[in-house]
Amino acid sequence: MKKAIITIVTLAFITTGSVMAQRGYGYDPRPNPYNNPVNPRHDDAMENFRIDQLDNIVNLSRKQQREIKRIEDRYDGPEFATRNRRSPRDFQQLQWQKNQEIMSVLTPGQRQRLVAYQQAQRPNRGGFYGRRN
């Protein structure tokens, strides 16, 4: 009887100890390369996704796609990679400058379609509470 009780208590301690030693949910010991914003593969995938979205909206030509890709790559260079050390105003200025260069690649009709799409995506600011008198 004594041996059975000691065995049960020992088994309880062993199982409780192993349960407490497990990692919590969401722990992944393997590094995920796509969580790293400095990862060039992730950055290229995001650029391609943005260019594809723009292509769906305004029907870019191959030449325009290549030119936009060059602009994106130029702003990913080492002189712009220190964006974490820049002030927010400098970063916004670079983003604005990049957007202006991308807009210069588009034709006037494509710009109008892009602006119309962006306006349609904005939240409705009319309505009762957002109305300006």
Q: What is the pLDDT of residues 78-120, one digit of tens each?
A: 666 665 566 778 878 888 999 999 999 999 999 999 888 888 8
Closest C-alpha among 41, 24, 21, 23 to residue 33: 41
Counting the structural domains of the chain, the total is 1
pLDDT digits (tens, 9 = 90+) for 47-78: 888 888 888 889 889 999 999 999 988 887 76
Of residues 133 and 104, the one with the higher pLDDT is 104
Is residue 49 domain-resident? Answer: yes
Does residue 93 sit within a domain?
A: yes
Domain region containing 61: 36-121
Tell me if 20 is assigned to some domain. no
Distance CA 132, CA 129 (A): 9
Tell me the pTM. Answer: 0.58
Domain assignment present for 88: yes
* Domain presence at residue 16: no
Q: How far is Cα 82 from Cα 64, in angstroms, rounded to an integer?
A: 28
* Amino acid in the structure at residue 21: A
Inter-CA distances, 4 with 7, 9, 88, Å: 5, 9, 68
Task: Sort 34 into a burial class: Cβ within 10 Å, 0-12 / 13-18 / 19+.
Answer: exposed
Residue 43 in any domain: the answer is: yes
Q: Do the domain assignments include residue 3?
A: no
